[in-house]
A and B are shown apart, each in its own frame.
Chain A
């Protein structure tokens, strides 16, 4: 009986943690992998690993970073296992194209395409800052790079996006 209650408590805690961060988790995985199908697989594997290591999460306040850390590792593992190279931006799958063109707003589609084309070393810190609200220090710790490198990458990411959007506007 005690064991059933403990299992139920564990499941409830897990559902609360995952329920709060699922949207951010999926979006992070999707922009990291640039593939909705891969993102779903990464999210599923992340949830399974998170369930197994839930006891190692001492503070639920740290749950977001904890889940994203797992997702980052699962994404890397997925690409390593599949021996996938970088995505050919001119040869997107239907799912990838759908991800870029999800909206009827051409400006939104343009920006999504521009972010899609960013190299991952620029795209990831941008996603962490703008989508997930990470500070420079948090991004540095998460990605394992120094804060100066984070600042440089954010700067370059925005300038590349601005250039891309400006070129599209004048075309």
Chain B
């Protein structure tokens, strides 16, 4: 075995467990030194990779989770075969976990109101409220809306965020459109019937939930935005939305 071959092999596997490895190291002091350097390097690499690990937090699971199967192909390599819709937000998973955790641990505790849940969700998904000119793919938008919304007119505004998110235990479309004064969030809740408009107010956002047929739509803008801008977009959306259910 030549020295360059040995060094190449040692750099891929410092244990030296390849044919001819030990013999070459015995015979060549320079390569033996290189082997020791690689082994010392690996000790440092192993120590560096062993970062602190936070406590394990297992999500709360429901029996329904156990029956919904998502196949995982162990041999798929880069191409996955998981069948869960990709537009289900990770936030949705965590919110469901928190919601169910609360119910299991303290069922007598009052649940947050619809407005409070929406404001908390807005804080959690702050990334959705970026000013951007990148529209979501049409297919993503259709898929997010497919279960609940039959028609909706977003006008000329760009839809830059579309995700299915869990509000009040149900997955609903969460959209962001780029208004003239900034991003406006729409949460379309086909089965949240309310009698009157409910104002929303958080540290960074404000808006309103308005009744629409047997459901409701939350329309939320950034704290510094004028409510009139939110109202104008909201009015158009509310007038054009029809539910599938």
- Chain A contacts to B: CB under 8 angstroms: 7, 10-11, 15, 18-19, 22-23, 26-27, 30-31, 36, 40-41, 44-45, 47-56, 62, 65-66, 69-70, 73, 76-78, 80-83, 99, 102, 107-108, 111-112, 115, 126-127, 130-131, 136, 141-144, 151, 154-155, 158-159, 161-162, 165
Contact = CB atoms under 8 A, between A and B. Distances in A.
A44 B52 contact: no
B29 interface: no
B44 interface: yes
Nearest to B68: A52
Given A18-B58, A48-B93, A81-B86, A62 B74 contact: yes
B29 to A, nearest CB: 19
B75 A112 contact: no
Contacts of B42: 130, 158
A91 to B, nearest CB: 17
Nearest to B47: A108
B93 A18 contact: no
Contacts of B79: 144
Interface stretch (B5-13, B195-203, B214-222, B236-244): B5-13
- Among B59, B86, B90, chain A packs the most CB atoms within 10 A around the CB of B90
Contacts of B127: 82
Nearest to B77: A144
Interface of B: 8, 11-14, 37-38, 41-42, 44-54, 56-59, 61, 63, 65-66, 68-72, 74-80, 82, 84, 86, 89-90, 93-94, 97, 127, 134
A107 B41 CA distance: 11
A158 B45 CA distance: 9
Contact of B48 (A22, A26, A115): A115
A154 to B, nearest CB: 4
A130 B82 contact: no
B74 A111 contact: no
A70 to B, nearest CB: 6
Contacts of B48: 108, 111-112, 115
B41 A52 contact: no
Nearest to B96: A48
A143 B77 contact: yes
A127 B49 contact: yes
B71 to A, nearest CB: 6
Contacts of A107: 44
B183 to A, nearest CB: 16
B69 A155 contact: no
Given A111-B48, A143-B77, A154-B12, A55 B69 contact: yes
B54 A52 contact: no
12 contacts: A26-B53, A44-B57, A45-B93, A53-B69, A73-B82, A111-B48, A115-B48, A131-B50, A142-B77, A155-B8, A155-B12, A158-B41
B82 A49 contact: yes
B65 A111 contact: no
B92 to A, nearest CB: 10
A112 B51 CA distance: 9
Pick the 8 closest A-B CB pairs, nearest first. A144-B77, A111-B48, A154-B12, A73-B80, A155-B11, A131-B49, A144-B78, A112-B48
Nearest to A151: B12
A170 to B, nearest CB: 15
B56 A52 contact: no
B66 to A, nearest CB: 6
B65 A65 contact: no
A45 B90 contact: yes
Contacts of A27: 49-51, 53
